């Protein structure tokens, strides 16, 4: 098991959504818009202790069950170039897109009905050190695979690097149903045998919290 401890910060899942109309960080100390003004795109914060590892949203990225990828998701409705006081953009994209966090209500109707949206997730669980684990490439993430990893007690967050990373699935426009998945028995095994409360897969960076109730 190759493992690496690092910090994970996913408060803003769409923080890297970008296009030329959205410089992610502008240094306001610069005085004018003259030549040489360059947006600073920070990848690390706080002396490199927090890494933004979310995927950049692009029109070419895969969308659920779509052959054509995300497509256009950003429109400039009013532009300073056209005399508007500000650039005004509109964005439309599925919530289940790129780097994202699944709400408990995403696949369980009773949670949905009871109002378990992302706001109900515990930020203490979402933020902090996580263990990055390389999983075997020839299997989905099952109970057997989980058991073989011998993840120590006390670990609360894991990210799995899978075959999906090697296959660069997030860079393929056409949705591929053969992606490596975190199987139900794998999740149940973690709930029953470890202290893990948060699980993510690195390539898609889909983060799930293991619920105390039956999965």
Ligand X SMILES: *[C@@H]1O[C@H](CO)[C@@H](O)[C@H](O)[C@H]1NC(C)=O
167's tokens: 């296959």
- CB contact at 8 A, 146 and 187: no
Task: State the Cα–Cα distance between residues 134 and 130, nearest whole angstrom.
Answer: 13
Judged by CB under 6 A, the stretch of 35-43, 79-87, 106-114, 197-205 that binds ligand X is 79-87
Q: Which of 81, 150, 153, 168 binds ligand X (CB under 6 A)?
A: 81
Q: Which of 80, 95, 114, 125 binds ligand X (CB under 6 A)?
A: 80
Closer by beta carbon to ligand X, 59 or else 89? 89
State the pairing for strand pair 88-91/74-78.
Answer: antiparallel
Q: Which of 59, 140, 142, 188 binds ligand X (CB under 6 A)?
A: 140
How many residues bind to ligand X according to rule CB under 6 A? 15
State the pairing for strand pair 50-51/44-45.
Answer: antiparallel
Closer by beta carbon to ligand X, 139 or else 173? 139
Q: Which of 178, 184, 193, 213 binds ligand X (CB under 6 A)?
A: 178
Task: State the Cα–Cα distance between residues 24 and 97, nearest whole angstrom.
Answer: 19
76 contributes a contact to ligand X by CB under 6 A: yes
Percentage helix, strand, coil for the chain under 3-state DSSP, each rounded to 5: 20, 20, 60
180 contributes a contact to ligand X by CB under 6 A: yes
Alpha carbon of 211 to those of 107, 108, 185, 196, 200: distances in Å?
Answer: 12, 11, 14, 10, 14
24 contributes a contact to ligand X by CB under 6 A: no
Closer by beta carbon to ligand X, 20 or else 123? 20
Closer by beta carbon to ligand X, 2 or else 81? 81
Shortest distance, CB of residue 201 to ligand X, whole angstroms? 12
Count Cβ neighbours within 10 Å for each residue of 57-72 and write b for 16 or more, e otherwise.
Answer: bbeebbbeeeeeebee
Shortest distance, CB of residue 147 to ligand X, whole angstroms? 17
- Per-residue binding string, ligand X, 3-22, x by CB under 6 A, is -----------------xx-
Q: What is the DSSP string of 147-171?
A: HHH-PPTT--EEEEE-HHHHTTGGG
Closer by beta carbon to ligand X, 93 or else 169? 169
Binding site for ligand X (CB under 6 A): 20-21, 76, 79-82, 87, 138-140, 163, 178, 180-181
């Amino acid at each position: 098991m190759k493992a690496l401890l690092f910090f994970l910060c996913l408060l803003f899942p769409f923080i890297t959504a970008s296009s030329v109309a959205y410089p992610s960080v502008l240094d306001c100390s610069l005085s004018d818009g003259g030549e040489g003004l360059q947006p600073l795109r920070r990848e690390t914060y706080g002396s490199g202790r927090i890494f933004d590892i979310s995927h950049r949203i692009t029109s070419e990225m895969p969308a659920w069950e779509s052959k054509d990828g995300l497509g256009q998701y950003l429109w400039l409705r009013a532009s300073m170039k056209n005399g508007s006081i500000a650039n005004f953009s509109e964005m439309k994209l599925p919530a289940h897109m790129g780097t994202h966090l699944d709400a408990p209500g995403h696949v369980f109707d009773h949670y949905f009905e009871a109002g378990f949206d992302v706001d109900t997730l515990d930020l203490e669980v979402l933020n902090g050190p996580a263990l990055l684990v390389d999983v075997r490439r020839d299997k989905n993430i099952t109970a057997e695979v989980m058991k073989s990893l011998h993840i120590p007690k006390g670990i609360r967050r894991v990210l799995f690097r899978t075959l999906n990373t090697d296959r660069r699935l997030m860079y393929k426009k056409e949705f591929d149903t053969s992606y490596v998945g975190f199987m139900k028995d794998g999740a149940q095994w973690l709930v029953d045998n470890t202290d893990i409360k948060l699980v993510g897969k690195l390539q898609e960076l889909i983060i799930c919290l293991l619920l105390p109730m039956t999965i």
